[in-house]
Amino acid sequence: MNKSEILQQLRNNHSRFSKLITGLPDSDFLRSTNDKWTPGQQLEHIVKSVRPVSLALLLPNFFLRIAFGKANRPSRSYNELVTKYHAKLATGYKASAPFVPKAVVTSDRDGLAKRLQVLTNSLSEQISSYSENQLDTIILPHPLLGKLTLREMLYFTIYHAEHHEMQTLKNLENQA
């Protein structure tokens, strides 16, 4: 995906995910199936995972290079990144503490949706200032996948919303 396609998918996936969660009746928003996160917690988890990417891109490029290095390989494709993520999940990985959502109540719904929109908009604006080359040379750390190029981190961010949307739909289906 080029930068324009990344920006479009980032906005689309997060908007679609947010609309799904905010459109749920209160009983579904709060329902957990088989000790899985509630849809509200899924939303908070996505907010917690977009935030550090957005914050990292507020830092100067030279700082990112000093802190995390420079890419020594080409970026993986979107599909390769998703495959790697699924392989890591298959090992039983669970979200690390900073990304585990707290209990969420219905009064949190609109605030979480607004925060996700603000973070997604901010991330989109920040990405706009990066070149295609920078997307493939800047490195950011991921708690499960290790060092990723900025392009790969954006692929992950795009897919992550879709992954949790699918999980939410599956959990809601299992309740019926």
pLDDT in tens, 74-124: 999 999 999 999 999 999 998 999 999 999 999 999 999 999 999 999 999
Output the domain CATH number for residue 29. Answer: 1.20.120.450
Specify the number of domains making up the chain.
1
Residue range(s) defining the domain that contains residue 168: 3-175
Tokens of 98: 């900073």
The torsion defined by the Cα of 147, 151, 155 and 156, in degrees rounded to 10, comes to 20
Whole-angstrom CA distances from 57 to 31, 154, 172 are: 35, 11, 35
| pTM to 2 decimal places | 0.95
pLDDT at 174 over 90: no
Give per-residue pLDDT as tens, 17-73.
Answer: 999 999 999 999 999 888 889 999 999 999 999 999 999 999 999 999 999 999 999
Which residue reads 């298959």 in tokens?
A: 90
Which residue reads 């992950």 in tokens?
A: 156
